[in-house]
Amino acid sequence: MTSHDVVRRVRGLFKTRKVGHGGTLDPLATGVLPVAIGDGTKILQFLLAENKSYLATFKLGVTTDTLDAEGEVVLERPVPQLSLAEVEGAFSVFRGEIEQLPPMFSALKKDGVPLYKLARQGKTVPREMRKVTISRLELLDFKPESITIEVDCSKGTYIRSLVNDIGEQLGCGAHLTALRRLKSGEFSISECQTLEQLQQLQDPNSALYSLDQALRNYAAVQLNPVAADALGFGIPPELGQVESGKQIAAGELVRLQIADKLAAIARYVPLRSKEKRGDFELIKVFVGH
């Protein structure tokens, strides 16, 4: 099942076409897929930008064209007798900010054509390296020809590419055999609903988060009545017109709230006040006159 297949099923359950998802999962993968319905689609840009966590298993010694178990084998190499120290040493290369080559079998586009369509035609085109961040890469299980890891990473990271690169670092190649997304931003697998569970609910809407709950990882900032009224006309607030339970850092995205309800997403830019444009840059406004 693809991410679009999930969207299509949810459209049927909620009887609306206004449905989108917050981050594509490969057909091989399972796990967390945020789905936005109705007005929820207005915050997809924020859900797509979130970090992710994965549980991944890969097989050593075999490289495929798709970099996973669904592809054709392109190279087989003997797997050396690897020590735990050698595996950990290979992992250390990929922690932190790294450059990664996106796979040909991906939804990225070249001149408007998805790369996977070109790959199915047997074509390979140049791709630019992309900077991604691997904040955690932990070994969970190590067998002679199979390794299981947990990964915390930035948006846009291809676990298939990471696995392929680890295999090359170990000198024998590798391909992904199982992938499960454990977290997408603040959404964890423990709070997910399966499609089957949604179908069994008398009211599927009871499973939905509000927009404010869905963006709970952004600090909440309460507007005073003057700022709340001005926001309705698209005027951003000044720092003295808001209350927050925590210190806000310059450049941080926050939830602007009116009476504890989401009113806007904004970036704290204190230097804007010198230009008499308030201390916040409005990114997305949900209220207006």
- Cα separation, 124 vs 101, in Å, equals 13
Tell me, yes or no, if 26 is annotated catalytic: yes
Q: How far is CA 89 from CA 55, 85, 94, 139, 156, in A?
A: 20, 6, 10, 11, 24
Pairing verdict, β 30-31 and 187-188: unpaired
Q: How far is CA 251 from CA 14, 81, 163, 237, 266, in A?
A: 37, 48, 33, 15, 9
| Residue ranges of E strands in 106-252 | 109-110, 113-114, 130-143, 146-153, 174-184, 187-188, 219-223, 242-244
According to DSSP, residue 154 is labeled -
CB 22 within 8 Å of CB 35: yes
Torsion on CA atoms 88, 89, 95, 97, rounded to nearest 10: -160
Residue whose token pair is 């945020």? 34
Helix intervals (H) in the chain: 3-14, 44-47, 84-92, 115-120, 159-169, 195-200, 211-214, 225-231
Annotated catalytic residue, options 26, 65, 68, 279: 26
According to DSSP, residue 199 is labeled H
Tokens of 162: 């990471």
Phi first, then psi, for residue 9 (nearest 5°) are -65, -40
Q: Which residues are catalytic?
A: 26
